[in-house]
Amino acid sequence: MWPISLWVVALVVVISTHWVYKWRNPKCNGNLPPGSMGWPLVGETIQFFTTDRTSGVPTFIKQRMERYGSIFKTSLVGVQVIVSTDSDLNSLVFKKEDEVFQSWWPNSMTEVFGRTNLSTLYGGLHKFTKNMVLNQFGPERLKQMLSEIESVSKIHLARWAQKGTVEVKTAASDMILSFAAKKLISHDLDKSLENMRENFEAFITGLISFPIAIPGTAYYKCLQGRKKVMKMLNNMLEERRRNPNNVSNDYFDYVIEELKQDDTLLTEAIALDLMFLLLFASYETTSMTTTVAIKLLMDNPKALKELTEEQDKIVKARANPDSGLTWEEYKSMTFMFQVINESVRLANIVPAIFRKIIKDFTFKDYTIPSGWVIMISPPATYLNPDTYKDPLEFNPWRWEGMGIKGASKDFMAFGGGQRFCVGADFARLEMAVTLHNLVTKYRWKLIKGGEMIRTPGLHFPNGLHVHFSKKNEDNQISN
């Protein structure tokens, strides 16, 4: 007979083998999409977060698309996931919000953005909080803000030219964040911009990283960056309560008045998480897309020429060439919006969108089970040659006749349905104003950097260092 130790080893092997088999072959009342669940608990998390120096479809997604098709299963950070690169399924996910799908993020990202951030709220509370943002950045408010946005843009572009050479992503982040902070909290970031930038940079570095909160890791630094920014915001809110600002009409004023209401849905935690999210979006997403647009225009003289001609025509049509942009002029920028749409498509800074499946449903030949998570991969859609011809090519003309937003099932860069990004209009306006002033008043050339990679988020590993100067009298741009 076997000794007891061998029986124990055999039992452990049998149990472990059975556990691994069950993990890799999850039960489903139907036909699950193909794919691999990886190892128990870990799944394919390590492969997903592995550095991938590509500007195209992330290798993790691309390899599995080639192997399994446009829909496949996997496991990330211990969660059973259906990955979708199918435009029809992606569209359905946004249309069936709260009916079949519910907004969801991994616990690690919820810790980063806050447990009461906009993406974690549902129903009436989500609608209420979304309206809070629109109160500050909705279309009607943007019309009123246009002259302020242009003024800030002109000031910062002049600084770029005075410095000669700047790192564009950092400079664009400072410009957009300074405006957002002024409108949201009446805060002059020129006094504390460096400190806030350092906190956000630490936050961004670890945002899409392996979620291990151990000192020294990128994720730990990310959490520390959030902690410092949240402390700053909390101190500002308390100071405003003690000493009301009688001249501003900003987000904090709105929050304080709302918190005084007996029937309010707002809590201080929700208000501060929302503030953090808005400042982060200003610092990173809009500035990154603006940086990408400048890089792409620099590399494409034909597109730059057409954009410059369109914007120069707007200036020349004014009775006073030195007067500021009007809302009507902004809305008339046909080619500008084509450039913005194409830049947004190629920047595509959100590597994944998650939804929790709350009810079984069938799509094509597959059953998508309740309790799982579906992950939409925007890069796999926007960089798919079957959807966009020569997808890595900057081609603003592909958007001709598509309108300002160009939204479709193949272009949901700002989300869709109830979760459509409430800052989308602000982002477009900020980009349009910056590019308008840039192409009509300045010339620029690349000094160094400019390589774009995804790891899996988009960034410039060597920066984008560009020399800016005022245009010569012949009004020619030199590249």
CA 285/CA 176 separation, integer angstroms: 10
Give the tens place of pLDDT for each residue, 130-165. 777 777 778 888 898 899 999 999 999 999 999 989
Listed residue (178, 226, 172, 220) closest to 198, CA to CA: 226
Q: What CA dihedral angle connects 234, 236, 241 and 247, to 10 degrees?
A: -150
Assign 183 a pLDDT band (cuts: 50, 70, 90). Answer: confident
The two three-digit tokens of residue 449, written as one number: 């950097």
- Quick one: pLDDT at residue 210? 67
Q: List the one residue out of 56, 280, 292, 281 whose CA is nearest residue 169.
A: 292
Q: How many CB atoms lie within 10 A of CB 355?
A: 23
- Dig out the tokens for 148 from the structure: 């302020």
Binding residues for heme: 421
* pLDDT of 91: 87
The contacts of residue 166 (CB under 8 Å, 6+ apart) are 160, 465, 466, 468
Provide the terminal-to-terminal Cα distance of the chain, rounded to the nearest Å: 84
Annotation: CATH topology of 122-348+391-479: Cytochrome p450 (1.10.630)
pLDDT at 478 over 60: no
Encoded amino acid at 202, one letter: A
Please work out, in degrees rounded to the nearest 5, the angle formed at the alpha carbon of residue 351 by the alpha carbons of 345 and 356: 120
CB of 152 within 8 A of CB of 263?
A: no
Per residue in 284-332, pLDDT (tens digit) is: 788 899 999 999 999 999 999 999 999 999 999 998 877 889 999 999 9
Which of 75-79, 112-116, 367-371, 420-424 has maximum average pLDDT? 367-371
Give the pLDDT of residue 466. 96
Domain boundaries, the chain: 28-115+351-382, 122-348+391-479
CA 131 – CA 133 distance, rounded (Å): 5
Segment 389-411 mean pLDDT? 79
pTM over 0.95: no
Q: Indicate the pLDDT class of residue 379, thresholds 50, 70 and 90.
A: confident
DSSP at 477: -
Task: Please give the residue that has the higher pLDDT: either 263 or 411.
Answer: 263
pLDDT confidence bin for 1, thresholds 50/70/90 = low
The whole-angstrom distance between residue 378's C-alpha and the CA centroid of its chain comes to 11
Task: For the chain, give the percent of residues with pLDDT over 70.
Answer: 80
Q: How confident is the model at residue 395 (pLDDT cuts 50, 70, 90)?
A: very high
CA 38 vs CA 14, 67, 218, 282, 376: distances in Å: 19, 15, 24, 37, 19
Q: pLDDT by residue (tens digit) across 57-93?
A: 888 899 999 999 999 999 988 889 999 999 889 889 9
Residue of 405 and 214 predicted with greater confidence: 214
- Cα 400 to Cα 408: distance, rounded to the nearest angstrom: 14
- The rounded mean pLDDT for the chain is 82
265-289 mean pLDDT: 83
What's the topology of domain 28-115+351-382?
A: 3.30.43
Q: What are the binding residues?
A: 421
Q: What is the pLDDT of residues 193-237, one digit of tens each?
A: 456 666 677 666 666 666 777 887 877 888 888 888 888 888 888
